[in-house]
Amino acid sequence: MATVSDPPKEAFRLSQLIYDTRYRSMTIQIVALIGFLVLIGWLISNTAQNLADLGKEPSFQFMGEAAGYDINQRLIDYNNQDSHLRAAFVGILNTLLVAVMGCATATILGVIIGVLRLSKNWLVGRLMTVYVEIFRNVPVLLWIVFIMAILIETLPAPRDFRGDDPVASMKLFDTVAITNRGVYIPDPLFGADAKDDKGAFLDEPVGWRVGLGDYPVGASRDNPSCERYYATEGPGAGEPAAGCGTFQISLDLLLALAVLIAGLYASHRIKRRADRIQNATGVRPVTWYLRLGVVILPFAITLWALGFYFAFPELRGFNFQGGTHMRNSLIALWLALSLYTAAFIAEIVRAGILAISHGQTEAASALGLRPKRIMNLVILPQALRVIIPPLISNYLNLTKNSSLAIAVGYMDITGTLMGITLNQTGRELETVLLGMLIYLTISLIISAVMNWYNNSVKLVER
């Protein structure tokens, strides 16, 4: 009978921390951690020392002070008496606006170009290759300033629209004006937000007022932005007025959206019912008019009841009034980011389609699927699996590249918080770090959402 004796127990020696692989990893990690903490501590102590010398103790007090600068392109109400915090918020919304518009346009363009690049037509394929190479190999910042310069130099000035025989005219049945000061598009409004000629809100709205109006979030007497808006006398004394609060939520819009979503859900239910009937009887009831009506009719009635109308841009004096004014900076940034990113997306789409072997198509047609179903059921799900991960990183790149807005004066978060607020308050540390944190948050949210989507379309592998 063999006895196995344990090896003699050795006392722990200090040199084992270095030479024994069981302990070495702990040693390395602790040394790395200490090194990291020392580095951070060194940076922080330097920073504290430098800031104390400059007399700038780190604090975020300045965010509550009046910003004192105007932002010409904005999604929520803002004026130069509002706080830096609100200016930063306007900036974030502007960043998101251009990022969303850019991603949507870049995806559409990119898919079209990517597919056309694979076209059997030699000329079209070559043209798309030229497009991709030109846009990929020139810096995006150059595209942004270039397109900005082109917009300013080549588009007609508002005065060209004047006179009996104008040089330029409005596009799309006189609803859109493209000028070198920007593009004016119709502004969707609800009856309750009736504005006078100068674009200011009216006390007595024109026409009739049915809408729910805007709900001011955070309106109170303590909110500095509300001080001006509390009526001191008259019937509405003590009530917050329009334009007060941290921001307003358009209740009209919410209601209209709710009706639209309810309509879509009802339409979905009708389709499910038709499927059930078809499965039971083999005959599919005709439902397209029902499904269309249940979406459109309630939505249209709601819009009508809320007094929905478009405010069209009109030439008054030396400039256009009314409508939504998209400034050149926004247009240039949007176009440049879309065109630049579209070149990358086109390559991704092309690679994704090429990655699906031809055998898949043949196998699907051997199963008797029609070409459209082959595309929808076999090719696209597999191509998407290849396309989506690099697509995510391109969306992230586009969002990060939108920070180049500062080159053309579009007031995104870089332009407000890290631009003018930094210059006016001299708070480099706080503004730049906060700005980086905001971008980091946006990036992480986008990648989280897109990764979730990626997981949902991913083919289940063994």
Partner 1 sequence: MSEVSYVRTEMLPEREPPATTIGVIGWMRENLFSGWFNTALTIVSLTFVVMLLNAILPWIFSPTWYATSLGECRDILRGMGREGHYPGACWGVIRDRWVQLLFGFYPSELYWRPIMAFLLLGVALAPVLFSDRVPRKLLWFSAVYPFLFPWLLWGGPIWGPLMVIAGFVIGWFVYRAADKRAGGLAGIIAGVLAAVIWWLLVSGYVIDGVSAVLPIGIEAVQSRNFGGFMLSVTIGVVAIACSLPIGVVLALGRQSDLLIVKALCVGFIEFIRGVPLITLLFVASTLLNIFMPPGTNFDIILRVIIMATLFASAYMAEVIRGGLAALPQGQYEGADSLGLDYWQAQRLVIMPQALKISIPGIVSTFIGLFKDTTLVSIIGLLDPLGLSNSIRADAAWNGIVWEIYGFIALLFFAFCFAMSRYSMYLERKLNTGHH
List of residues contacting partner 1 (CB under 8 A): 18, 25, 28-30, 32-33, 36, 43, 46-47, 49-51, 53, 119-124, 127, 133-134, 136-142, 145-146, 149-150, 153-154, 400-401, 403-404, 406-407, 414, 418, 422, 428-429, 432, 435-436, 439-440, 443-444
Nearer to partner 1, 126 or 284 (CB): 126
Nearer to partner 1, 127 or 305 (CB): 127
Smallest separation (angstroms) from partner 1 to the CB of 444:
6
Smallest separation (angstroms) from partner 1 to the CB of 403:
4
Nearer to partner 1, 46 or 376 (CB): 46
Nearer to partner 1, 53 or 204 (CB): 53
Smallest separation (angstroms) from partner 1 to the CB of 96:
14
Nearer to partner 1, 45 or 376 (CB): 45
Smallest separation (angstroms) from partner 1 to the CB of 361:
19
Smallest separation (angstroms) from partner 1 to the CB of 437:
9
Nearer to partner 1, 124 or 355 (CB): 124
Smallest separation (angstroms) from partner 1 to the CB of 431:
9
Q: Give the chain as a 3 state SS string.
A: CCCCCCCCCCCCCCCHHHHCHHHHHHHHHHHHHHHHHHHHHHHHHHHHHHHHHHCCCCCCHHHHCECCCCCCCCCCCCCCCCEHHHHHHHHHHHHHHHHHHHHHHHHHHHHHHHHHHCCCCHHHHHHHHHHHHHHHCCCHHHHHHHHHHHHHHHCCCHHHHCCCCCCCCCECCCCEEEECCEEEECEEECHHHCECCCCCECCCCCCCCCCCCEEEECCCCCCHHHHHHCCCCCCCCCCCCCCCCCEEEEHHHHHHHHHHHHHHHHHHHHHHHHHHHHHHHCCCCCCHHHHHHHHHHHHHHHHHHCCCEEECCEEECCEEECCEEECHHHHHHHHHHHHHHHHHHHHHHHHHHHHCCHHHHHHHHHCCCCHHHHHHHHHHHHHHHHHHHHHHHHHHHHHHHHHHHHHCCCCCHHHHHHHHHHHHHCCHHHHHHHHHHHHHHHHHHHHHHHHHHHHHHCCCCC
